[in-house]
Chains A and B, each alone.
Chain A
């Protein structure tokens, strides 16, 4: 079974731009969640989608948004990029989204200059 696939692996953007990251979950997994990893803050929850609906949201500004498609693939978007948005963005999937282990992709490394 293929794992969680995230594209692109690396991205360099300029302050003020916007970016879209993509995630394909493990086949059959209906829940997709996003996390941000930075050296200072560790792994922080961004949001979770289940059956195309946002089920949970973390404490991030409205510049961070996401969506899930009918095939469970997900995208997250960050608008008006700031230097502090530089981070590793991780996508994870699980079968049903409740007390089952998350399976993570290898992440997208975003650098904002």
Chain B
């Protein structure tokens, strides 16, 4: 049972435009959500997180939006840069589960120069 889903396996965006990556979850006990970026042959790198008590969190070019009623979160990257080309994973956890993260299957973002 895939509790965290990223339905778009890939996304291609023009440099300078907005990239929107989406993620849906089914477990209503999830209360902390994260986005990671992964390059080949490297471990995932933490980008941004959001607690369930918020609906938006910004960090520079990255903004995460959380819609709890829809069990949906999205990552906006503005403006997109070629260096953003990577695989993006969303992940979720429950407060009671420590560092156990449930990951989505990833979305491969390609930013075209």
Do B99 and A103 have beta carbons less than 8 Å apart?
no
Contact of A43 among B31, B42, B89 (CB under 8 A): B89
Binds B, one of A13-21, A69-77, A92-100: A92-100
Does B13 count as interface, using CB distance less than 8 angstroms? no
Assembly CA distance A97 to B110 (angstroms)? 33
A92/B89 contact (C-beta < 8 A), A42-B106, A104-B43 known: no
Instruction: Report A95-113 CB contacts with B as 1/0, cut-off 8 Å.
Output: 0011101111111000000
CA distance A42 to B3 in the complex (A): 13
- B contact residues around A44 at 8 Å (CB): 103
Interchain CB contact (< 8 A) of B45 among A35, A45, A99, A104: A104
Most A-side CB within 10 Å, residue of B31, B32, B44, B93: B44
CB neighbours of A33 from chain B (8 A): 98-101
| B71-113 with Cβ < 8 A to chain A | 89, 91, 93, 95, 97-106
CA distance A50 to B93 in the complex (A): 17
Q: Is B70 an interface residue (CB 8 A)?
A: no
A94 touches B43 (CB 8 A): no
Say yes or no: A55 contacts B98, CB within 8 Å.
yes
- With A48-B99, A90-B43, A104-B44 given, is the CB distance from A99 to B32 under 8 Å? yes
A88 to B42 alpha-carbon distance, docked (Å): 10
Does A4 lie at the interface of the complex (its beta carbon under 8 Å from any beta carbon of B)?
Answer: yes
The 7 sampled A-B contact pairs (Cβ below 8 Å) are A33-B98, A48-B99, A56-B99, A97-B98, A102-B46, A102-B99, A107-B42
Partner-B contacts on A (CB < 8 A): 4, 31, 33, 35, 42-45, 48, 50, 55-56, 58, 90, 92, 94, 97-99, 101-107
